[in-house]
Structure 1
Protein backbone atom coordinates (compact mmCIF):
# COMPACT_ATOMS: atom_id res chain seq x y z
CA UNK A 1 0.00 0.00 0.00
CA UNK A 2 2.83 2.36 0.88
CA UNK A 3 4.50 1.63 -2.45
CA UNK A 4 1.30 2.45 -4.33
CA UNK A 5 0.90 5.76 -2.48
CA UNK A 6 4.49 6.68 -3.29
CA UNK A 7 3.92 5.81 -6.95
CA UNK A 8 0.78 7.97 -7.06
CA UNK A 9 2.68 10.87 -5.47
CA UNK A 10 5.47 10.51 -8.02
CA UNK A 11 3.01 10.51 -10.92
CA UNK A 12 1.14 13.55 -9.58
CA UNK A 13 4.39 15.40 -8.92
CA UNK A 14 5.68 14.66 -12.42
CA UNK A 15 2.35 15.75 -13.96
CA UNK A 16 2.27 19.00 -11.98
CA UNK A 17 5.88 19.77 -12.87
CA UNK A 18 5.19 19.13 -16.56
CA UNK A 19 2.15 21.42 -16.50
CA UNK A 20 4.09 24.24 -14.83
CA UNK A 21 6.96 23.93 -17.31
CA UNK A 22 4.56 23.86 -20.27
CA UNK A 23 2.88 27.05 -19.02
CA UNK A 24 6.24 28.77 -18.54
CA UNK A 25 7.32 27.89 -22.09
CA UNK A 26 4.03 29.20 -23.49
CA UNK A 27 4.48 32.37 -21.43
CA UNK A 28 7.96 32.82 -22.88
CA UNK A 29 6.78 32.45 -26.47
CA UNK A 30 3.90 34.92 -25.94
CA UNK A 31 5.93 37.58 -24.09
CA UNK A 32 7.10 39.66 -27.11
CA UNK A 33 3.64 39.84 -28.68
CA UNK A 34 2.19 40.88 -25.31
CA UNK A 35 4.74 43.67 -24.77
CA UNK A 36 5.35 45.03 -28.27
CA UNK A 37 2.81 47.56 -29.53
CA UNK A 38 1.01 47.29 -32.84
CA UNK A 39 0.97 43.48 -33.08
CA UNK A 40 -1.76 42.41 -35.50
CA UNK A 41 -4.45 39.84 -34.83
CA UNK A 42 -3.00 37.40 -37.36
CA UNK A 43 0.41 37.59 -35.71
CA UNK A 44 -1.11 36.99 -32.28
CA UNK A 45 -2.94 33.92 -33.57
CA UNK A 46 0.27 32.54 -35.05
CA UNK A 47 2.13 33.21 -31.80
CA UNK A 48 -0.63 31.47 -29.84
CA UNK A 49 -0.36 28.44 -32.12
CA UNK A 50 3.43 28.27 -31.70
CA UNK A 51 3.06 28.70 -27.92
CA UNK A 52 0.55 25.84 -27.75
CA UNK A 53 2.84 23.57 -29.77
CA UNK A 54 5.87 24.43 -27.63
CA UNK A 55 3.86 23.92 -24.45
CA UNK A 56 2.50 20.56 -25.63
CA UNK A 57 6.00 19.39 -26.56
CA UNK A 58 7.37 20.46 -23.19
CA UNK A 59 4.52 18.77 -21.32
CA UNK A 60 4.98 15.51 -23.22
CA UNK A 61 8.71 15.54 -22.61
CA UNK A 62 8.59 16.23 -18.87
CA UNK A 63 5.57 14.03 -18.20
CA UNK A 64 7.14 11.02 -19.89
CA UNK A 65 8.95 8.46 -17.77
CA UNK A 66 11.74 8.19 -20.32
CA UNK A 67 12.98 11.41 -21.96
CA UNK A 68 13.73 11.75 -25.65
CA UNK A 69 15.00 15.28 -26.32
CA UNK A 70 15.38 17.43 -23.20
CA UNK A 71 18.79 17.05 -21.61
CA UNK A 72 19.58 17.30 -17.87
CA UNK A 73 15.90 16.84 -17.05
CA UNK A 74 16.69 15.58 -13.55
CA UNK A 75 19.79 17.70 -12.97
CA UNK A 76 18.45 21.00 -11.70
CA UNK A 77 19.12 23.88 -12.01
CA UNK A 78 20.70 23.48 -15.47
CA UNK A 79 17.50 23.90 -17.52
CA UNK A 80 16.12 26.47 -15.10
CA UNK A 81 19.13 28.70 -15.66
CA UNK A 82 18.82 28.31 -19.42
CA UNK A 83 15.11 29.15 -19.32
CA UNK A 84 15.64 32.20 -17.12
CA UNK A 85 18.45 33.36 -19.39
CA UNK A 86 16.30 33.16 -22.50
CA UNK A 87 13.30 34.74 -20.81
CA UNK A 88 15.28 37.66 -19.38
CA UNK A 89 16.85 38.29 -22.80
CA UNK A 90 13.51 38.14 -24.61
CA UNK A 91 11.76 40.30 -22.00
CA UNK A 92 14.53 42.91 -21.95
CA UNK A 93 14.73 43.18 -25.74
CA UNK A 94 10.94 43.39 -25.98
CA UNK A 95 10.80 46.26 -23.48
CA UNK A 96 13.62 48.05 -25.28
CA UNK A 97 11.91 47.64 -28.64
CA UNK A 98 8.53 48.71 -27.27
CA UNK A 99 10.07 51.95 -25.97
CA UNK A 100 10.53 53.13 -29.55
CA UNK A 101 6.84 52.80 -30.42
CA UNK A 102 5.15 53.45 -27.07
CA UNK A 103 7.58 55.32 -24.80
CA UNK A 104 7.26 54.81 -21.05
CA UNK A 105 9.69 55.71 -18.24
CA UNK A 106 10.30 52.00 -17.64
CA UNK A 107 10.96 51.34 -21.32
CA UNK A 108 13.13 54.43 -21.71
CA UNK A 109 15.28 53.27 -18.79
CA UNK A 110 15.88 49.91 -20.47
CA UNK A 111 16.55 51.66 -23.77
CA UNK A 112 19.13 53.99 -22.20
CA UNK A 113 20.91 51.14 -20.41
CA UNK A 114 20.92 49.10 -23.62
CA UNK A 115 22.39 52.02 -25.53
CA UNK A 116 25.26 52.33 -23.03
CA UNK A 117 25.93 48.58 -23.10
CA UNK A 118 25.86 48.45 -26.89
CA UNK A 119 28.20 51.42 -27.19
CA UNK A 120 30.62 49.91 -24.65
CA UNK A 121 30.75 46.54 -26.44
CA UNK A 122 30.91 47.99 -29.95
CA UNK A 123 34.62 47.79 -30.69
CA UNK A 124 36.44 46.31 -33.70
CA UNK A 125 35.92 42.56 -34.23
CA UNK A 126 33.65 42.25 -31.20
CA UNK A 127 30.51 40.09 -31.51
CA UNK A 128 28.37 43.20 -31.16
CA UNK A 129 30.19 44.96 -33.99
CA UNK A 130 29.85 41.87 -36.18
CA UNK A 131 26.15 41.58 -35.34
CA UNK A 132 25.52 44.82 -37.18
CA UNK A 133 26.88 43.12 -40.31
CA UNK A 134 23.59 41.21 -40.46
CA UNK A 135 21.79 44.46 -41.23
CA UNK A 136 21.00 45.64 -44.74
CA UNK A 137 23.36 48.20 -46.19
CA UNK A 138 20.65 50.84 -46.48
CA UNK A 139 19.62 50.58 -42.81
CA UNK A 140 19.36 53.94 -41.10
CA UNK A 141 21.47 55.14 -38.20
CA UNK A 142 18.61 54.73 -35.74
CA UNK A 143 18.07 51.12 -36.82
CA UNK A 144 21.76 50.34 -36.52
CA UNK A 145 21.86 51.82 -33.02
CA UNK A 146 18.78 49.80 -32.06
CA UNK A 147 20.37 46.56 -33.26
CA UNK A 148 23.65 47.43 -31.54
CA UNK A 149 21.87 48.09 -28.25
CA UNK A 150 19.88 44.86 -28.50
CA UNK A 151 22.93 42.79 -29.44
CA UNK A 152 25.07 44.28 -26.68
CA UNK A 153 22.40 43.75 -24.03
CA UNK A 154 21.62 40.18 -25.12
CA UNK A 155 25.31 39.25 -25.31
CA UNK A 156 26.06 40.69 -21.87
CA UNK A 157 23.10 38.85 -20.34
CA UNK A 158 24.22 35.57 -21.90
CA UNK A 159 27.75 36.02 -20.53
CA UNK A 160 26.39 36.82 -17.06
CA UNK A 161 24.19 33.73 -17.16
CA UNK A 162 27.21 31.61 -18.07
CA UNK A 163 29.18 33.05 -15.14
CA UNK A 164 26.20 32.42 -12.84
CA UNK A 165 25.97 28.80 -13.99
CA UNK A 166 29.67 28.24 -13.34
CA UNK A 167 29.33 29.71 -9.84
CA UNK A 168 26.34 27.50 -9.08
CA UNK A 169 28.20 24.47 -10.38
CA UNK A 170 31.25 25.29 -8.27
CA UNK A 171 29.45 26.18 -5.04
CA UNK A 172 26.83 23.43 -5.10
CA UNK A 173 28.96 20.70 -6.65
CA UNK A 174 26.53 20.31 -9.54
CA UNK A 175 25.43 17.68 -10.24
CA UNK A 176 25.47 16.72 -6.55
CA UNK A 177 28.08 14.07 -5.89
CA UNK A 178 25.99 12.45 -3.14
CA UNK A 179 23.20 11.71 -5.61
CA UNK A 180 23.13 9.21 -8.44
CA UNK A 181 23.47 10.79 -11.89
CA UNK A 182 21.72 8.81 -14.60
CA UNK A 183 23.55 9.54 -17.86
CA UNK A 184 20.81 7.97 -19.98
CA UNK A 185 17.99 10.04 -18.42
CA UNK A 186 19.90 13.33 -18.38
CA UNK A 187 21.60 12.87 -21.75
CA UNK A 188 18.98 11.05 -23.86
CA UNK A 189 20.68 11.98 -27.13
CA UNK A 190 24.03 10.61 -25.92
CA UNK A 191 24.51 6.86 -26.32
CA UNK A 192 27.01 5.62 -23.68
CA UNK A 193 27.38 2.19 -25.36
CA UNK A 194 27.86 3.47 -28.92
CA UNK A 195 31.55 2.60 -28.87
CA UNK A 196 34.73 3.93 -27.33
CA UNK A 197 35.38 5.05 -23.80
CA UNK A 198 32.48 7.12 -22.43
CA UNK A 199 34.84 9.61 -20.77
CA UNK A 200 36.69 10.30 -24.02
CA UNK A 201 33.41 10.74 -25.90
CA UNK A 202 32.01 13.09 -23.26
CA UNK A 203 35.19 15.18 -23.32
CA UNK A 204 35.16 15.24 -27.12
CA UNK A 205 31.55 16.42 -27.20
CA UNK A 206 32.37 18.97 -24.50
CA UNK A 207 35.20 20.41 -26.60
CA UNK A 208 32.94 20.61 -29.66
CA UNK A 209 30.18 22.40 -27.74
CA UNK A 210 32.57 24.84 -26.10
CA UNK A 211 34.25 25.63 -29.42
CA UNK A 212 30.92 26.19 -31.16
CA UNK A 213 29.62 28.29 -28.29
CA UNK A 214 32.64 30.55 -28.49
CA UNK A 215 32.70 30.86 -32.28
CA UNK A 216 29.00 31.12 -33.18
CA UNK A 217 28.56 34.82 -32.22
CA UNK A 218 31.31 35.56 -34.75
CA UNK A 219 30.30 33.00 -37.38
CA UNK A 220 26.55 33.68 -37.59
CA UNK A 221 26.90 37.26 -38.92
CA UNK A 222 29.56 36.13 -41.38
CA UNK A 223 27.41 33.25 -42.65
CA UNK A 224 24.38 35.54 -43.04
CA UNK A 225 26.50 38.12 -44.85
CA UNK A 226 27.92 35.53 -47.25
CA UNK A 227 24.56 33.80 -47.74
CA UNK A 228 22.80 37.05 -48.63
CA UNK A 229 25.17 37.87 -51.48
CA UNK A 230 23.11 38.40 -54.60
CA UNK A 231 19.89 38.22 -52.56
CA UNK A 232 17.80 40.77 -50.75
CA UNK A 233 19.80 42.08 -47.75
CA UNK A 234 18.84 40.77 -44.34
CA UNK A 235 16.53 43.16 -42.51
CA UNK A 236 15.07 43.34 -39.01
CA UNK A 237 12.14 45.59 -39.73
CA UNK A 238 9.69 43.52 -37.67
CA UNK A 239 10.13 44.10 -33.92
CA UNK A 240 9.35 40.44 -33.12
CA UNK A 241 11.83 39.29 -35.74
CA UNK A 242 14.49 41.50 -34.21
CA UNK A 243 13.78 40.27 -30.67
CA UNK A 244 13.87 36.57 -31.54
CA UNK A 245 16.82 36.85 -33.95
CA UNK A 246 19.04 38.71 -31.50
CA UNK A 247 17.90 36.51 -28.61
CA UNK A 248 18.78 33.35 -30.55
CA UNK A 249 22.12 34.85 -31.61
CA UNK A 250 23.07 35.40 -27.96
CA UNK A 251 21.34 32.46 -26.26
CA UNK A 252 22.34 29.52 -28.49
CA UNK A 253 26.12 30.02 -28.03
CA UNK A 254 25.68 30.46 -24.26
CA UNK A 255 23.56 27.31 -24.12
CA UNK A 256 26.22 25.36 -26.02
CA UNK A 257 28.90 26.61 -23.66
CA UNK A 258 26.83 25.51 -20.65
CA UNK A 259 26.29 22.11 -22.23
CA UNK A 260 29.99 21.70 -22.93
CA UNK A 261 30.97 22.67 -19.40
CA UNK A 262 28.32 20.32 -17.97
CA UNK A 263 29.49 17.39 -20.09
CA UNK A 264 33.08 17.96 -19.03
CA UNK A 265 31.96 18.00 -15.40
CA UNK A 266 30.14 14.69 -15.90
CA UNK A 267 33.25 13.20 -17.50
CA UNK A 268 35.30 14.28 -14.45
CA UNK A 269 32.72 12.69 -12.13
CA UNK A 270 32.87 9.38 -13.99
CA UNK A 271 36.67 9.46 -13.93
CA UNK A 272 36.71 10.13 -10.18
CA UNK A 273 34.24 7.29 -9.63
CA UNK A 274 36.43 4.89 -11.59
CA UNK A 275 39.55 5.95 -9.69
CA UNK A 276 37.84 5.53 -6.32
CA UNK A 277 36.58 2.07 -7.29
CA UNK A 278 40.01 1.08 -8.61
CA UNK A 279 41.62 2.28 -5.37
CA UNK A 280 39.14 0.34 -3.25
CA UNK A 281 39.72 -3.03 -4.92
CA UNK A 282 43.32 -3.58 -3.65
CA UNK A 283 42.23 -2.82 -0.09
CA UNK A 284 39.33 -5.22 -0.28
CA UNK A 285 41.51 -7.91 -1.76
CA UNK A 286 44.12 -7.40 0.99
CA UNK A 287 41.45 -7.61 3.70
Structure 2
Protein backbone atom coordinates (compact mmCIF):
# COMPACT_ATOMS: atom_id res chain seq x y z
CA UNK A 1 0.00 0.00 0.00
CA UNK A 2 2.80 2.43 0.89
CA UNK A 3 4.58 1.75 -2.39
CA UNK A 4 1.45 2.80 -4.30
CA UNK A 5 1.10 6.11 -2.47
CA UNK A 6 3.42 8.24 -4.69
CA UNK A 7 1.62 7.17 -7.85
CA UNK A 8 -1.75 7.81 -6.24
CA UNK A 9 -0.65 11.30 -5.15
CA UNK A 10 0.54 12.15 -8.66
CA UNK A 11 -2.80 11.01 -10.09
CA UNK A 12 -4.62 13.09 -7.48
CA UNK A 13 -2.62 16.20 -8.42
CA UNK A 14 -3.42 15.64 -12.08
CA UNK A 15 -7.10 15.31 -11.20
CA UNK A 16 -6.99 18.60 -9.30
CA UNK A 17 -5.30 20.26 -12.27
CA UNK A 18 -7.97 18.96 -14.64
CA UNK A 19 -10.87 20.18 -12.51
CA UNK A 20 -9.37 23.64 -11.93
CA UNK A 21 -7.94 24.32 -15.40
CA UNK A 22 -11.18 25.68 -16.96
CA UNK A 23 -11.69 28.03 -14.00
CA UNK A 24 -8.14 29.30 -14.35
CA UNK A 25 -8.37 29.85 -18.10
CA UNK A 26 -11.68 31.73 -18.02
CA UNK A 27 -11.52 35.29 -16.67
CA UNK A 28 -15.19 35.79 -15.77
CA UNK A 29 -15.53 33.11 -13.07
CA UNK A 30 -16.81 34.52 -9.79
CA UNK A 31 -15.27 33.63 -6.46
CA UNK A 32 -18.14 31.43 -5.25
CA UNK A 33 -17.97 29.22 -8.33
CA UNK A 34 -14.19 29.02 -8.02
CA UNK A 35 -14.49 27.94 -4.38
CA UNK A 36 -17.00 25.27 -5.37
CA UNK A 37 -14.65 23.85 -7.99
CA UNK A 38 -11.77 23.86 -5.52
CA UNK A 39 -13.93 21.76 -3.21
CA UNK A 40 -14.85 19.41 -6.06
CA UNK A 41 -11.17 19.09 -6.95
CA UNK A 42 -10.29 18.17 -3.37
CA UNK A 43 -13.02 15.52 -3.24
CA UNK A 44 -11.80 14.11 -6.57
CA UNK A 45 -8.22 14.01 -5.29
CA UNK A 46 -9.21 12.16 -2.13
CA UNK A 47 -11.26 9.69 -4.16
CA UNK A 48 -8.35 8.98 -6.52
CA UNK A 49 -5.90 8.50 -3.64
CA UNK A 50 -8.22 6.08 -1.86
CA UNK A 51 -8.80 4.11 -5.06
CA UNK A 52 -5.19 3.81 -6.17
CA UNK A 53 -3.62 3.28 -2.74
CA UNK A 54 -5.85 0.31 -1.98
CA UNK A 55 -4.80 -3.12 -3.17
CA UNK A 56 -8.43 -4.23 -3.24
CA UNK A 57 -10.93 -3.47 -6.02
CA UNK A 58 -12.90 -0.25 -5.77
CA UNK A 59 -15.04 1.73 -8.19
CA UNK A 60 -12.50 2.56 -10.91
CA UNK A 61 -12.41 -0.05 -13.64
CA UNK A 62 -9.24 -1.20 -15.44
CA UNK A 63 -7.16 0.27 -12.63
CA UNK A 64 -4.25 -2.07 -13.34
CA UNK A 65 -4.63 -2.15 -17.10
CA UNK A 66 -3.02 0.99 -18.51
CA UNK A 67 -3.45 3.00 -20.66
CA UNK A 68 -7.26 2.69 -20.46
CA UNK A 69 -7.81 5.25 -17.70
CA UNK A 70 -4.94 7.40 -18.96
CA UNK A 71 -6.62 7.73 -22.33
CA UNK A 72 -9.90 8.66 -20.66
CA UNK A 73 -8.21 11.22 -18.43
CA UNK A 74 -6.22 12.82 -21.24
CA UNK A 75 -9.30 12.93 -23.46
CA UNK A 76 -11.35 14.79 -20.85
CA UNK A 77 -8.46 17.04 -19.81
CA UNK A 78 -7.71 18.00 -23.42
CA UNK A 79 -11.39 18.60 -24.16
CA UNK A 80 -11.82 20.89 -21.16
CA UNK A 81 -8.65 22.82 -21.98
CA UNK A 82 -9.46 23.34 -25.65
CA UNK A 83 -13.05 24.44 -25.04
CA UNK A 84 -11.96 26.76 -22.22
CA UNK A 85 -9.33 28.35 -24.47
CA UNK A 86 -11.92 28.78 -27.22
CA UNK A 87 -14.34 30.45 -24.80
CA UNK A 88 -11.59 32.70 -23.44
CA UNK A 89 -11.09 34.18 -26.91
CA UNK A 90 -14.13 36.41 -26.24
CA UNK A 91 -12.32 38.10 -23.36
CA UNK A 92 -8.62 37.67 -24.11
CA UNK A 93 -8.29 37.11 -27.87
CA UNK A 94 -4.81 35.63 -27.93
CA UNK A 95 -3.47 34.01 -31.07
CA UNK A 96 -3.75 30.50 -29.60
CA UNK A 97 -7.32 31.04 -28.40
CA UNK A 98 -8.44 32.42 -31.75
CA UNK A 99 -6.75 29.56 -33.60
CA UNK A 100 -8.49 26.96 -31.42
CA UNK A 101 -11.81 28.73 -31.87
CA UNK A 102 -11.37 28.81 -35.65
CA UNK A 103 -10.55 25.10 -35.72
CA UNK A 104 -13.57 24.37 -33.54
CA UNK A 105 -15.89 26.39 -35.76
CA UNK A 106 -14.57 24.60 -38.84
CA UNK A 107 -15.03 21.19 -37.24
CA UNK A 108 -18.45 22.10 -35.89
CA UNK A 109 -19.70 23.20 -39.30
CA UNK A 110 -18.30 20.08 -40.97
CA UNK A 111 -20.14 17.85 -38.47
CA UNK A 112 -23.36 19.88 -38.49
CA UNK A 113 -25.35 17.83 -40.97
CA UNK A 114 -28.95 16.54 -40.77
CA UNK A 115 -29.57 14.00 -37.98
CA UNK A 116 -26.16 14.64 -36.44
CA UNK A 117 -25.82 15.19 -32.67
CA UNK A 118 -24.47 18.69 -33.27
CA UNK A 119 -27.51 19.59 -35.38
CA UNK A 120 -29.76 18.38 -32.54
CA UNK A 121 -27.71 20.34 -30.02
CA UNK A 122 -28.03 23.57 -32.01
CA UNK A 123 -31.72 22.95 -32.64
CA UNK A 124 -32.65 22.70 -28.94
CA UNK A 125 -30.81 25.84 -27.85
CA UNK A 126 -33.20 28.13 -25.94
CA UNK A 127 -34.95 31.08 -27.51
CA UNK A 128 -32.95 34.26 -27.46
CA UNK A 129 -29.66 32.51 -28.15
CA UNK A 130 -27.42 34.87 -30.07
CA UNK A 131 -25.48 33.93 -33.16
CA UNK A 132 -22.24 34.20 -31.22
CA UNK A 133 -23.46 31.83 -28.52
CA UNK A 134 -24.63 29.29 -31.10
CA UNK A 135 -21.29 29.58 -32.86
CA UNK A 136 -19.47 28.95 -29.59
CA UNK A 137 -21.58 25.87 -28.85
CA UNK A 138 -20.91 24.54 -32.34
CA UNK A 139 -17.17 25.17 -31.95
CA UNK A 140 -17.13 23.47 -28.54
CA UNK A 141 -18.93 20.46 -29.98
CA UNK A 142 -16.43 20.23 -32.83
CA UNK A 143 -13.46 20.39 -30.47
CA UNK A 144 -15.02 17.84 -28.12
CA UNK A 145 -15.63 15.39 -30.94
CA UNK A 146 -12.10 15.87 -32.26
CA UNK A 147 -10.49 14.96 -28.94
CA UNK A 148 -12.89 12.05 -28.47
CA UNK A 149 -12.02 10.59 -31.86
CA UNK A 150 -8.32 11.03 -31.17
CA UNK A 151 -8.71 9.27 -27.82
CA UNK A 152 -10.56 6.35 -29.38
CA UNK A 153 -7.94 6.08 -32.11
CA UNK A 154 -5.08 6.06 -29.61
CA UNK A 155 -6.72 3.32 -27.57
CA UNK A 156 -7.37 1.23 -30.69
CA UNK A 157 -3.71 1.60 -31.69
CA UNK A 158 -2.62 0.56 -28.19
CA UNK A 159 -4.74 -2.58 -28.46
CA UNK A 160 -3.17 -3.47 -31.79
CA UNK A 161 0.44 -2.50 -31.05
CA UNK A 162 0.83 -3.40 -27.37
CA UNK A 163 -1.66 -6.25 -27.21
CA UNK A 164 -3.70 -4.56 -24.50
CA UNK A 165 -4.48 -5.46 -21.75
CA UNK A 166 -1.56 -7.88 -21.57
CA UNK A 167 0.67 -9.35 -24.26
CA UNK A 168 0.92 -12.54 -22.18
CA UNK A 169 -2.86 -12.94 -21.87
CA UNK A 170 -3.00 -12.46 -18.08
CA UNK A 171 -5.74 -10.23 -16.68
CA UNK A 172 -7.06 -9.82 -13.13
CA UNK A 173 -10.83 -9.53 -13.47
CA UNK A 174 -11.32 -8.96 -9.74
CA UNK A 175 -9.15 -5.82 -9.66
CA UNK A 176 -9.90 -4.37 -13.09
CA UNK A 177 -13.63 -5.15 -13.34
CA UNK A 178 -14.94 -4.85 -9.78
CA UNK A 179 -18.57 -4.62 -10.92
CA UNK A 180 -18.34 -7.68 -13.17
CA UNK A 181 -18.94 -11.03 -11.49
CA UNK A 182 -17.56 -13.86 -13.65
CA UNK A 183 -19.38 -16.42 -11.48
CA UNK A 184 -22.83 -14.85 -11.87
CA UNK A 185 -23.84 -17.42 -14.47
CA UNK A 186 -23.44 -18.03 -18.16
CA UNK A 187 -20.33 -18.07 -20.27
CA UNK A 188 -17.94 -15.23 -19.44
CA UNK A 189 -17.08 -14.63 -23.09
CA UNK A 190 -20.72 -14.26 -24.11
CA UNK A 191 -21.41 -11.91 -21.21
CA UNK A 192 -18.38 -9.75 -22.01
CA UNK A 193 -19.40 -9.54 -25.67
CA UNK A 194 -22.97 -8.66 -24.70
CA UNK A 195 -21.89 -6.00 -22.20
CA UNK A 196 -19.44 -4.58 -24.71
CA UNK A 197 -22.11 -4.34 -27.39
CA UNK A 198 -24.49 -2.65 -24.94
CA UNK A 199 -21.86 -0.08 -24.00
CA UNK A 200 -21.08 0.69 -27.64
CA UNK A 201 -24.79 1.03 -28.42
CA UNK A 202 -25.25 3.39 -25.48
CA UNK A 203 -22.26 5.38 -26.70
CA UNK A 204 -24.02 5.83 -30.04
CA UNK A 205 -27.35 6.81 -28.50
CA UNK A 206 -26.19 9.00 -25.62
CA UNK A 207 -25.28 12.11 -27.71
CA UNK A 208 -28.91 12.20 -28.84
CA UNK A 209 -30.40 11.56 -25.40
CA UNK A 210 -28.39 13.93 -23.23
CA UNK A 211 -29.35 17.26 -24.92
CA UNK A 212 -33.13 16.86 -24.39
CA UNK A 213 -32.49 15.59 -20.86
CA UNK A 214 -30.22 18.56 -20.13
CA UNK A 215 -32.84 20.97 -21.48
CA UNK A 216 -35.51 19.38 -19.28
CA UNK A 217 -33.31 19.67 -16.18
CA UNK A 218 -32.33 23.23 -17.06
CA UNK A 219 -35.95 24.28 -17.52
CA UNK A 220 -36.91 22.60 -14.24
CA UNK A 221 -34.30 24.53 -12.27
CA UNK A 222 -34.30 27.71 -14.35
CA UNK A 223 -30.67 27.51 -15.44
CA UNK A 224 -28.92 27.44 -18.78
CA UNK A 225 -25.47 26.37 -19.88
CA UNK A 226 -25.20 29.65 -21.76
CA UNK A 227 -25.30 31.64 -18.52
CA UNK A 228 -21.55 31.30 -18.05
CA UNK A 229 -18.62 30.13 -20.10
CA UNK A 230 -17.56 27.73 -17.35
CA UNK A 231 -20.89 25.91 -17.49
CA UNK A 232 -20.64 25.75 -21.27
CA UNK A 233 -17.18 24.21 -21.02
CA UNK A 234 -18.20 21.48 -18.59
CA UNK A 235 -21.53 20.65 -20.22
CA UNK A 236 -20.02 20.34 -23.69
CA UNK A 237 -17.02 18.37 -22.45
CA UNK A 238 -19.18 15.87 -20.56
CA UNK A 239 -21.62 15.65 -23.48
CA UNK A 240 -18.81 14.25 -25.62
CA UNK A 241 -16.82 12.45 -22.93
CA UNK A 242 -19.56 10.20 -21.54
CA UNK A 243 -20.28 8.50 -24.90
CA UNK A 244 -16.55 8.22 -25.53
CA UNK A 245 -16.07 6.55 -22.17
CA UNK A 246 -18.81 4.06 -22.99
CA UNK A 247 -17.20 3.38 -26.36
CA UNK A 248 -13.86 2.72 -24.67
CA UNK A 249 -15.45 0.41 -22.12
CA UNK A 250 -17.30 -1.50 -24.82
CA UNK A 251 -14.17 -1.91 -26.91
CA UNK A 252 -12.21 -3.02 -23.85
CA UNK A 253 -14.76 -5.64 -22.81
CA UNK A 254 -14.99 -7.10 -26.29
CA UNK A 255 -11.20 -7.17 -26.42
CA UNK A 256 -11.19 -9.15 -23.16
CA UNK A 257 -13.73 -11.56 -24.62
CA UNK A 258 -11.48 -12.09 -27.64
CA UNK A 259 -8.44 -12.63 -25.42
CA UNK A 260 -10.24 -15.23 -23.30
CA UNK A 261 -11.50 -17.02 -26.42
CA UNK A 262 -7.99 -17.18 -27.85
CA UNK A 263 -6.62 -18.48 -24.56
CA UNK A 264 -9.30 -21.17 -24.43
CA UNK A 265 -8.57 -22.30 -27.98
CA UNK A 266 -4.90 -22.49 -27.15
CA UNK A 267 -5.62 -24.65 -24.10
CA UNK A 268 -7.90 -26.88 -26.16
CA UNK A 269 -5.19 -27.45 -28.73
CA UNK A 270 -2.57 -28.14 -26.05
CA UNK A 271 -4.58 -30.26 -23.61
CA UNK A 272 -7.41 -31.56 -25.73
CA UNK A 273 -10.21 -30.21 -23.52
CA UNK A 274 -13.53 -31.15 -25.19
CA UNK A 275 -15.62 -28.10 -24.18
CA UNK A 276 -13.69 -24.83 -23.82
CA UNK A 277 -16.75 -22.98 -22.47
CA UNK A 278 -16.10 -24.49 -19.04
CA UNK A 279 -12.50 -23.36 -18.87
CA UNK A 280 -11.72 -20.50 -16.47
CA UNK A 281 -11.45 -16.94 -17.72
Same fold (TM over 0.5): yes
Task: Tell me if structure 2 keeps the 8 A contact 1:135–1:236.
Answer: no
Counting only pairs closer than 5 Å after superposition, residues 138-149 of structure 1 correspond to structure 2 as 138-149=128-139
Question: Using a 3 Å threshold, how does the CA distance of structure 1 residues 237 and 266 change in structure 2: closer, same or farther?
Answer: same
Give the conservation status (yes or no) of the 8 Å contact 1:71–1:186.
yes
Is the CA contact (8 Å cut-off) linking 1:67 and 1:188 kept in structure 2? yes
Instruction: Report which stretch shifted further, 49-58 or 230-239.
Output: 230-239
Cα distance change on mapping 1:91 and 1:227 into 2, 3 Å: closer
Secondary structure of 2:24 counterpart: helix
Matched residue, 2:111: 121
- Find out whether 1:282 has 2:272 as its counterpart: yes
Which of 121-130 and 181-190 deviates more? 121-130
Q: Tell me if structure 1 keeps the 8 A contact 2:80–2:233.
A: yes
Cα RMSD, aligned residues only: 1.8
- Structure 2 counterpart of 1:158: 148
Q: Which of the numbers 8, 18, 24 marks the counterpart of 1:28?
A: 18
1:135, 1:234 within 8 Å by CA — same for their partners in 2?
A: no
CA distance in structure 2 between the partners assigned to 1:89 and 1:250 by the alignment: 9
Aligned counterparts of 1:185 and 1:88: Cα–Cα separation in 2:
28
Unaligned segments of structure 2, at least 5 residues: 274-281
Paired with 1:227 and 1:42, the residues of 2 have a C-alpha distance of 22
| Worse-superposed segment, 223-232 or 157-166 | 223-232
Q: Say whether 1:81 aligns with 2:68.
A: no
Residues 230 and 32 from structure 1, CA distance in 2 versus in 1: closer, same or farther, beyond 3 angstroms? closer
Alignment size in residue pairs: 273
TM-score by length of structure 1 reads 0.90
Residue 62 of structure 2: aligned partner: 72
Instruction: For residue 221 of structure 1, report the CA deviation from its aligned partner.
Output: 2.0
Query: Do 1:134 and 1:224's aligned partners in 2 also have CA atoms closer than 8 Å?
Result: no
CA 1:32/1:72 → structure 2, altered by over 3 Å: closer, same or farther? same
Superposed displacement of residue 260, structure 1: 0.3
User: Does residue 1:247 correspond to 2:202, yes or no?
Assistant: no
Q: TM-score, normalised by structure 2?
A: 0.92
Shift of 1:232: 5.0
**Which structure: larger Rg?**
1
Alignment of 1:37-116 (within 5 A): 37-116=27-106
CA distance in 2, matches of 1:62, 1:201: 27
Query: Would the aligned equivalents of 2:57 and 2:175 in 1 still touch at CA under 8 Å?
Result: yes
CA apart distance, 1:178: 1.3
Whether 1:182 aligns to 2:169 is no
Matched residue of 1:152: which SS?
A: helix
C-alpha distance in structure 2 between counterparts of 1:20 and 1:54, whole Å: 13
CA drift at 1:13: 3.5
